[in-house]
A and B are shown apart, each in its own frame.
Chain A
Amino acid sequence: MLKRFFLLPALAASLFTGCTGPETNTVAQLPILGEREVKPRADGGPADTIFATVPAFRLTDQAGQVITNKTFAGRAYIADFFFATCPGICPKMQGELLKVYSKYAKDPRVVFLSHTIDPAHDTLPVLRDYAQRLGITDASRWHFATTGAHGEPTAKDTVFQLARAYFTAAQPDKEAPGGFAHNGTFALVDDLGHIRGLYDSLNPKEVDRLLAELPTLLAEIDARKAKPVASIQ
């Protein structure tokens, strides 16, 4: 009777390893998150799968530099959403991102991007002060960016829309501390603009997972750069 207890899982395990066996030779890859589109090819060949990418954006960072998707082309970046006067989860969230940053501060393959969801308050001088107080002296390594550097009336809508694209919930909420409700998601984006990982910054295990998965993505990007042909799609 007892034997059967052990035999069944052993059998199941051997079946599963049988399934994954051939793949063990390939390098582990992070999934591509988001909706995917299957486009039939005009010539009747096998359909193309179009993976979701971060939509086009145009931001201004604490140094006054305009940053767009192109700023991050060929590099990985980690994005989150915060606001400078946030008394809720932001200090915890930014503290966690600071831990990740401190490990990669000198690695040009990964960049950091924090979007303010309170563009009306977080002007460029406020963002600059915030970055300096966090100890970030090089704006090109960690951008603190706004959609409203020039007082755009749509700045708030733009950043909330962008947050949704990064799978972060952010919206104005009078009940929430500081006037905005949002969650502390870190989004890991690859060199082609695909989101490859989402991590809850308030959970230490999730931050550890980010630290564990980031090298996998960087290796994939390095491999892509080594074979320039592969990056043409």
Chain B
Amino acid sequence: MSEYFRPTTDYRLLIAFLLISLMLPGCFSNNRHQGERLYAQHCASCHGDQGQGLARLVPPLAGSDYLVDHRAELPCLLRQGQKEVIVVNGVGYHNVMPGNKALSPAQLTNLLNYIESHWGNEAAPRTIRDVQQQLDSCRVP
């Protein structure tokens, strides 16, 4: 008798499992490609679709030594902008980059992780906690 019912309970389990797996995506926001979207929205018109920059006017992000050498400063740079002369791959640039104070630490994390893992860039992924800590120690402009 009990053997007869077992398949039924299995079905119930299966249905419950299916229901949960259907509901799971609702638990996550659509942040999977947030970094890519933020890049297209805020960065690409100057730095280019492929992070290539523009001649000697806008520094490249693709294969940029600056990203590696100044890794810890990048969250502050994005938030506060950059007005100084900046040397990237041996070339000096002096255009002003506006900062963006509206981006949250999570958004900055996704954006930096996108930039640092594309176009030949291969940095270790950042966590939101790292970025938050680096933002906390931004120099007051």
Q: Which size class do A's interface residues fall under?
A: 10 to 19
* A91–B45 touching, CB < 8 Å: yes
- Output the nearest chain B residue to A98 by Cβ-Cβ distance: B55
Q: Which size class do B's interface residues fall under?
A: 10 to 19
Q: A92 touches which one: B46, B55, B56, B98 (CB < 8 A)?
A: B46
Q: Is A125 an interface residue (CB 8 A)?
A: no
* A88–B45 touching, CB < 8 Å: yes
Q: A89-B45, A92-B45 are in contact. Are A130 and B96 (CB under 8 A)?
A: no
Interface residues of B in 91-127 (CB under 8 A from A): 95-98
Q: A87 touches which one: B44, B46, B54, B55 (CB < 8 A)?
A: B46
* B48–A95 touching, CB < 8 Å: yes
Q: Is A177 an interface residue (CB 8 A)?
A: yes
* B96–A95 touching, CB < 8 Å: no
* B96–A87 touching, CB < 8 Å: yes
Q: A133-B55, A133-B56 are in contact. Are A91 and B96 (CB under 8 A)?
A: no
Q: How far is the CA of A177 from the CA of B45 in the complex (A)?
A: 12
Q: B55 touches which one: A88, A89, A134 (CB < 8 A)?
A: A134
* Residue from B44, B45, B56, B97 whose CB has the most chain A CB atoms within 10 Å: B45
Query: Could you say which residues of chain B place their CB within 8 Å of the CB of A21?
Result: none
* 18 sample A-B contacts, Cβ–Cβ < 8 Å, listed by A number: A85-B95, A87-B46, A87-B95, A87-B96, A87-B97, A89-B45, A91-B46, A91-B57, A91-B58, A92-B44, A92-B46, A94-B57, A95-B48, A130-B57, A133-B55, A134-B54, A134-B55, A135-B55
